[in-house]
């Protein structure tokens, strides 16, 4: 029985063509800035976002944390993010541990931050208050179920940062999905933001790699932070080649992942007790609240795994399926069959 792995879009394996591109990549020592393939990737990504420069880093977490550290601030300063943000939930407290930043998580119902709430959270000057130094926005939003934060909101938050002298960071691990879902080009999503981090190892399907994007000056300083964090890599063009291949070949077909997520969602939406959050799924993430099915996430996942479909738990009553390059239409049909068998059988 084939296992359909819908746990995350990070589970993809490099294709033979991607591996061939890696084999053929010209390389050099990237700490000496001598790796031509890394340089090519960095230039390509900077151009896609219409920014001056980019820096290849190992992971999305590293991209976020290098960005936060590099923005000027003092220990104890505040970072505003939303209360479901990856930076808050899944980065091991790194903003505090590495950069001395205190998190100020703001409620963002449905994953959409409210610029007015953010504005109200900016600390006025007062000897007792911390200083608000950075505002971070996640787009698309993972814990909210792949929600696209609308462009108008992105613009308002960038403007808020500018007006108040506060740096803005876009956690764009899945910004590719926002562009694919809306048709709005990548360059628009980070417009006005001081830094962006993007991942090549999620929907783009590269085995490893992320990038930090910003001004030349910011990236020069970020390069130094990368060294500080132990992220200076050497003949890493073999990895950058996979990322270039992913941009050229995966980005144009990312809408297929969204279509498959929609097929999955619409084919299970009628199952009594299952609620999709959100409904319909905006991109490649399908979150199901199964509270009313009588099964716990662990029970459901166990039964699904026996039928060859792997999903992840996503809170006390929710499970998550993520579509990606390594699942095709037939796999989605198999997963739908497994889900129907597990949940419809309960009734
Ligand atoms: C929104 C978001 N940001 C950052 C990351 C971190 O990426 P990595 O796992 O490469 O550290 C993730 C990972 O899932 C993510 O979903």
pLDDT of the residue at 36:
98
Atom of ligand 1 nearest to the CA of 10: 14
Over residues 255-271, the mean pLDDT reads 97
Across the range 101-130, mean pLDDT stands at 98
Give the atom of ligand 1 at the shortest distance from the alpha carbon of 8.
14
Query: What does the pLDDT average to over 332-339?
Result: 97
Kindly indicate the confidence band of residue 230, based on its pLDDT and cuts at 50, 70 and 90.
very high
pLDDT of residue 11: 98
Q: Identify the residue whose tokens are 């151009």.
A: 47
Q: How would residue 345 be classed by pLDDT, with cut points 50, 70 and 90?
A: low
Ligand 1 centroid distance, CA of 61 (Å): 6
The pLDDT-based confidence of 323 (bands split at 50, 70, 90) is very high
The pLDDT value given to residue 122: 98
Tell whether the model's pLDDT for residue 347 goes beyond 80: no
Mutate to test the pocket of ligand 1, among 8, 61, 111, 138 (most ligand atoms within 8 A of CB): 61
From 7, 10, 58, 60, the mutation candidate for ligand 1 (largest count of ligand atoms within 8 A of CB) is: 60
In whole numbers, what is the pLDDT of the chain averaged over residues? 97
Using alpha carbons only, give the angle 98, 69, 203 rounded to the nearest 5 degrees: 95
- 142 CB near ligand 1 (under 6 Å): yes
Q: Is the CB of 91 under 6 A from ligand 1?
A: no
The percentage of residues in the chain with a pLDDT greater than 90, rounded to a whole number, is 99
Distance from the CA of 129 to the center of ligand 1, in angstroms? 31
Convert the pLDDT of each residue in 178-224 to its tens digit. Answer: 999 999 999 999 999 999 999 999 999 999 999 999 999 999 999 99
> Average pLDDT of 153-182?
98
Question: Can you name the residues that pair with 212 across neighbouring β-strands?
Answer: 55, 197
- Percent of the chain whose pLDDT exceeds 70: 99
79 pocket-lining for ligand 1 (C-beta < 6 Å): no
> Does 320 contact ligand 1 (Cβ within 6 A)?
no
Reported as a pLDDT band with limits 50, 70 and 90, residue 346 is low
pLDDT band at 79 (very low <50, low <70, confident <90, very high): very high
Q: Of all protein residues, whose CA lies closest to atom 6 belonging to ligand 1?
A: 60
> What's the pLDDT score for residue 160?
98
DSSP per residue over 226-277, as a string? HHHTT---SSTHHHHHHHHHHHHHTGGGHHHHHHHHHHHHHHHTTSTT-EES
Cα separation, 165 vs 75, in Å, equals: 17
Q: Are 237 and 39 in contact (CB under 8 A)?
A: no
* Residue-range domains of the chain with CATH: 16-249 (3.40.640.10), 253-344 (3.90.1150.10)
Q: Is the pLDDT of residue 309 over 80?
A: yes
The model's confidence at residue 38, banded by pLDDT at 50, 70 and 90, is very high
pLDDT of residue 1: 85
51 lines ligand 1 (CB under 6 A): no
């Amino acid at each position: 029985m084939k296992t359909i792995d819908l746990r995350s879009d990070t589970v993809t394996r490099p294709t033979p063509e991607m591996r061939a591109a890696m084999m053929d990549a010209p390389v050099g020592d990237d700490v000496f800035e001598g790796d031509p393939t890394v340089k090519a990737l960095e230039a390509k990504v900077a151009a896609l976002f219409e920014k001056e420069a980019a820096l290849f880093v190992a992971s999305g977490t590293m991209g976020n944390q290098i960005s936060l550290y590099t923005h000027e601030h003092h220990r104890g300063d505040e970072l505003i993010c939303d209360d479901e943000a990856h930076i808050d939930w899944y980065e091991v407290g790194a903003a505090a541990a590495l950069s001395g930043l205190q998190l100020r998580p703001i409620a963002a119902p449905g994953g959409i931050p409210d610029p007015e709430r953010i504005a109200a959270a900016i600390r006025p000057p007062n000897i007792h208050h911390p200083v608000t130094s950075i505002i971070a926005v996640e787009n698309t939003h993972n814990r909210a179920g792949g929600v696209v934060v609308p462009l108008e909101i992105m613009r308002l938050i960038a403007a808020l940062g500018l007006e108040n002298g506060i740096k803005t960071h876009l956690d764009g691990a899945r910004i590719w999905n926002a562009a694919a879902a809306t048709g709005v080009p990548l360059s628009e999503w980070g417009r006005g933001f001081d830094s962006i981090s993007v991942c090549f190892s999620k929907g783009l399907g590269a085995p490893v790699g992320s990038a930090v994007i910003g001004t030349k000056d910011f990236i020069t300083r970020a390069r130094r932070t990368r060294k500080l964090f132990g992220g200076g890599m050497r003949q890493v063009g073999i990895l950058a080649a996979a990322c270039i291949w992913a941009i050229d070949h995966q980005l144009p077909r990312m809408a297929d992942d969204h279509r498959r997520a929609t097929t999955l969602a619409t084919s299970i939406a009628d199952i009594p007790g299952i609620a999709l959050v959100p409904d319909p799924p905006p991109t490649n993430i399908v979150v199901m609240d199964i509270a009313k099915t009588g099964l716990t996430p662990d029970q459901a996942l166990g039964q699904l795994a026996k039928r060859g479909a792997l999903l992840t738990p996503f809170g006390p009553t929710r499970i998550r399926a993520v579509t990606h390059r390594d699942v095709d239409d037939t796999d989605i049909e198999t997963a739908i069959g497994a889900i129907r068998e597990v949940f419809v059988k309960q009734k």
